[in-house]
Structure formats: structure tokens, C-alpha cells
Amino acid sequence: MLNNLVPATPAKPNLRLRITAAAQTSVRNGHPWVYADSVREQNREGGAGEIAAIFDRNDRFLAVGLFDPLSPIRVRILHVGKPAKIDSSWFEDKFKSAIGRRDAMFDRSTNGYRCINGENDGWPGLVLDRYAETYVLKIYTAAWLPNLTEVLALIPGECVVLRLSRNIQEFAKTQFNVVDGQTLRGDVPNAAVIFLENGLRFEADVVRGQKTGFFLDQRENRRNVEGLSRGKSVLNAFSFSGGFSVYAARGGAKSVASLDISQHALASAQRNFDLNKDVIALTHETIQADAFAWIKEAKRNFDLIVLDPPSLAKRESEKVEAMRAYARLIGNAIERLNKNGILVAASCSAHVHADEFFQLARRAAEASARKFEELETTRNAADHPVTFPEGDYLKCIYLKFS
Ligand code: SAH
């Protein structure tokens, strides 16, 4: 197994790299990425997915990782410290420990969760999500492409779907003949899989949907919203497939509206409502509109508003404008809140740090001149562990306005 992790041609010497002093320090401190411009020496050209050993200036072994000639992230670290043999049993152990951690987190009312959270679980550039008996393997680096068969052998479940980040799709097709959404095992009828989250039923479009089909990372916030919704009129802005809406409805909301720009997302939200008819009595309203404009101009108010926009800063250069946009959005949403109204504002931009986001939300609340109380702030859920700054993206603040 994982034969391809050994250089493809045995005659070739192992791939060896030296990197800058700054990069050495960062790797020693546990950062999982070595950028191309930090590579000082390389003994030969490397192929996607080769194991690269990194040595320090004194020729001492520093770390070992997966080489990716196509990405500015040239090596993704698998192991730092003492030399280690990266073979199939090493990967099997890592796999078992990641899966074992999740087994302890969920009971039978939840069978949709993240099993492997990339770098944060020691699997750089690889995510594995479970939806009942279907597993979705999403890869963000070409380095895993030569090793798919071996990784697949570790994954349980009746069905395994492969998802590819956009930047590697072309290479995957031309070099490995694999495409985004391909089933590696079993079959996904109609592309949708039904799974359970805290006893609620949801569909996930594992073949074409965003991420791996569902925003599993918001589970805890959805649960919190359920607990805050009794008797309230709820607006779920940027609703996607209605996760927050369904929880609010089960929590006893008096009305629930899902607002999204995508008709496709709203149709899925309605289906998710219908899937939970046995526990929800409410009719669900869907509003297809640009949420930024709709919230600014709406003539209606709500008792609870969820704001969960897509990442507004995909790169560092967009951060300042993104922070302004978040602040405007939050300010406009506060104006749509009734007395004792609650705002739940999330951000999934890694470039906007949690303290910056919380601060801008508090400032927008102060600028509203309404009295408010901060109920809570939350971060990533336990099945989405975070071990390095770039992996730390999700934060959410709960504010109540009198
Ligand atoms: N809260 C959701 C995830 C939100 S993902 C959940 O728990 O599952 C972000 C959503 O914002 C996507 O569905 C996308 O279609 C929607 N979106 C993006 N831009 C938008 C806009 N300008 N107005 C409304 N919705 C938008």
C-alpha cells in the first residue's frame, strides 16, 4: 500500500530539500506548509505526491512531507522531528486515530461529520467527511492523486465520492483521468445523500454541492440557534440548504425564512424542511435575493437573524474591504431586529481573525446606539480541529439587542 509515496522510479535518489532559516523555524514549530520560495536547494526535480525529506543547514533531518510541484505550497509536512518511515502502516495508524477521535464525539443521532480535517489532523490537503454510509474525500493538492487507491483502501462505508478543489481539476483529468464528483466506490443515486445531524434529517449533494455537500462546520451554531428560537420570527440569511432554518423550526420558532441568492440552495432548504415534517409543524418561507441588499432595504423585522455569508476575503488583499462589508451587513441586520432581537453573525474568512471579527461586530453594535448584550462567541467545532493559523477560519458572535 501507498507504494506511490515512494519515488516512482527506484533508480532515482530520494527527494531532498533544504529550506530557508525562517522556514526551518516555522516547520520546527509545527507549521505544515513549506512555500516554493522558501526552498533553497533541491537534489532533483520532484513529481506530485513524492515524499520529500527536508534537512537543515547542518544536514540534520528536519521533516518529511508530500511534494507538490504545481502549488506555491511546495511541501505539505507529514512528520517533523526524528526520522520516520512513512509507509502504509504509518498512514493506517494516522487514519485510525483520526476516525477513533470522531467515534467518541457523536452518538447515533449524528452520522454526518468531518472525519479528517486536513493539516489539522495530520493529513495535509485532504478532507474526509462522512454522510451516513457515504464518505466524501476532498483533496486540495495534486500530491494525493497518485495515492488515491491506497487512501481509498483505508476508508470505510458503502460509497466513496471524490471531490477536487478547482485548482487541481485539470491536472487530475489529464494526468490521472479522475474528475470532481466521481464515485470511487459504490453509487450515489440522484447525487443526494440523506444523513442525520442531532436527530434531524438533511440531504447533502455530495457530487456537486459546495464543500463536500453540506456545511458540517456549523453544527454547534445551528444547535445554539435551535435553543434560542422558541416563539421567535427567524431570518436565516445566506441559508444555503437551510441548516439553521430547520433547527430554528424544531426549536419552536414562530416563523422561519431562508434567504439565499441561489434558487438551487433554497430548493434544497425546502426539501430539508420536508424531510423533517415529523418534528416541524411550521411552513417555511424562502426568499431568493441578494442578502446584502435585501437586509438593507427590507420593510420587515425579525426576532432572530442568522448571518452566515460566504468568505468575503479569499485573499489577504481583500481583507480591509471584507471587514467593511461585514460591518455594513451587521449594521443593517441590527436595524432589522425587533426589541430583544438576537443577531448570530458568523465569518468563515481565515484572513479576518476571530478577535478582529468580534471587534468589528461589537463596534457595529455600538454604532447602532441600541443597548446590547453579548451572549456568546464560538469557534470551530471539535470535529474541525485547528492546529495552524491558516486552518482557523470559523467564528461566530451572538448579540442581543434591547
Ligand atoms: N449557513 C449555511 C451555509 C452558508 S454558505 C449552512 O449552515 O449550511 C453561503 C451561502 O451564501 C451559499 O448558499 C450562497 O449561495 C449564498 N450567497 C452567496 N452570496 C450571496 C448573496 N449576495 N446573497 C444571498 N446569498 C448569497
Check whether residue 275 and residue 165 sit in a common domain: no
**Domain finish residue from 64, 80, 96:** 80
Total-model pTM = 0.94
Mean pLDDT of the chain: 95
Closest C-alpha to ligand 1, atom 13: 240
What is the number of the ligand 1 atom nearest to the C-alpha of 215? 8
d(CA 260, ligand 1 centre) in Å: 6
Check whether residue 72 and residue 97 sit in a common domain: no
Element containing residue 99 per DSSP (H, E): helix 88-103
CA distance 314 to 265: 21
pLDDT single digits (tens) 91-149: 999 999 999 999 889 999 999 999 999 999 999 999 999 999 999 999 999 999 999 99
Check whether residue 290 and residue 395 sit in a common domain: yes
Q: Average pLDDT, stretch 312-330?
A: 94
pLDDT of amino acid 168:
97
- Name all residues whose Cβ lies below 6 A of ligand 1: 215, 218, 238-241, 243-244, 260-262, 265, 290-292, 308-310
Residue 378: strand pairing partners:
396
DSSP letter at 262 equals -
Closest C-alpha to ligand 1, atom 11: 238
Residue 130 lies in a domain: yes
**Domain finish residue from 32, 64, 80:** 80
Residue 61 belongs to domain with CATH number: 2.30.130.10
pLDDT single digits (tens) 17-30: 999 999 999 999 99
Check whether residue 262 and residue 383 sit in a common domain: yes
Residue 237 belongs to domain with CATH number: 3.40.50.150
Check whether residue 244 and residue 391 sit in a common domain: yes
Instruction: List the grid coordinates of 34.
Output: 513549506
Count of CA atoms in the C-beta half-sphere (13 A) of 308:
26
Q: Average pLDDT, stretch 181-185?
A: 96
Mutate to test the pocket of ligand 1, among 210, 261, 332 (most ligand atoms within 8 A of CB): 261
Residue 9 pLDDT grade (very low, low, confident, very high; cuts 50, 70, 90) = low
Residue 190 pLDDT grade (very low, low, confident, very high; cuts 50, 70, 90) = confident
Nearest to 234 by CA among 167, 169, 302: 302
What is the number of the ligand 1 atom nearest to the C-alpha of 236? 1
Nearest to 374 by CA among 350, 396, 351, 347: 396
Nearest to 23 by CA among 12, 38, 9: 38
Residue 335 lies in a domain: yes
d(CA 308, ligand 1 centre) in Å: 7
Closest C-alpha to ligand 1, atom 22: 290
d(CA 310, ligand 1 centre) in Å: 6
pLDDT single digits (tens) 200-239: 999 999 999 999 999 999 999 999 999 999 999 999 999 9
Count of CA atoms in the C-beta half-sphere (13 A) of 1:
14
Domain count, the chain: 3
d(CA 376, ligand 1 centre) in Å: 23
Domain range for 302 is 215-401
Return the SS3 of 103: helix
What is the number of the ligand 1 atom nearest to the C-alpha of 244? 7
d(CA 398, ligand 1 centre) in Å: 19
Instruction: List the grid coordinates of 226.
Output: 435551535
Count of CA atoms in the C-beta half-sphere (13 A) of 263:
0
Mutate to test the pocket of ligand 1, among 211, 212, 240, 306 (most ligand atoms within 8 A of CB): 240
